[in-house]
């Protein structure tokens, strides 16, 4: 009887240990499953974040390209305006030089005319003196 009692106590002890081991096994399995789910979610979140970052980078690159294009266009327009201004300034300088040359020619013509008239008057006076002396 003693042996039967000890055997049943041993079996009972083993069954408690087995139940505990089963429960521990189930909780470890649940923990592994939860960890796997969390890892999968983290991978999905990381993939989404990477996709969003790539989209943002593409958008930023597109914006930068547009702004660079606008800057080139503005620079081209400014250069065209500068060339037009230079052409206008050169045209004005030529016009002013032509007007100034015309003024110089007219002044020279007037002075030459005055000098010719004075010379003619001087010759006429000398001729009158010579006529009066004879």
Domains of the chain, by residue range, sit at 1-107
Report pLDDT for 38: 76
Averaged pLDDT score across all residues of the chain: 79
Report pLDDT for 19: 47
Considering the entire predicted model, what is its pTM? 0.41
The low-confidence residues of the chain, meaning pLDDT below 50, are: 17-21
Report pLDDT for 18: 47
* H helical segments located in the chain: 2-133
Bin 100: left if φ > 0, else alpha if -120 < ψ < 50, else beta.
alpha
Report pLDDT for 80: 87
Alpha-carbon torsion, ordered 26, 31, 37, 38, to 10 deg: 170
């Amino acid at each position: 009887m003693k042996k039967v009692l000890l055997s049943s106590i041993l079996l009972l002890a083993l069954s408690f240990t087995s139940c505990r081991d089963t429960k521990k096994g189930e909780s470890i399995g649940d923990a592994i499953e939860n960890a796997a789910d969390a890892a999968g979610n983290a991978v999905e979140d990381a993939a989404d974040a990477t996709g969003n970052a790539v989209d943002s980078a593409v958008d930023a690159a597109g914006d930068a390209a547009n702004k660079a294009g606008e800057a080139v266009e503005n620079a081209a327009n400014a250069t065209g305006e500068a060339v037009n201004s230079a052409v206008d300034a050169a045209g004005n300088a030529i016009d002013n030089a032509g007007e100034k040359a015309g003024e110089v020619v007219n002044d020279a013509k007037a002075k030459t005319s005055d000098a010719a008239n004075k010379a003619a008057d001087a010759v006429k006076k000398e001729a009158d003196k010579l006529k009066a002396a004879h």
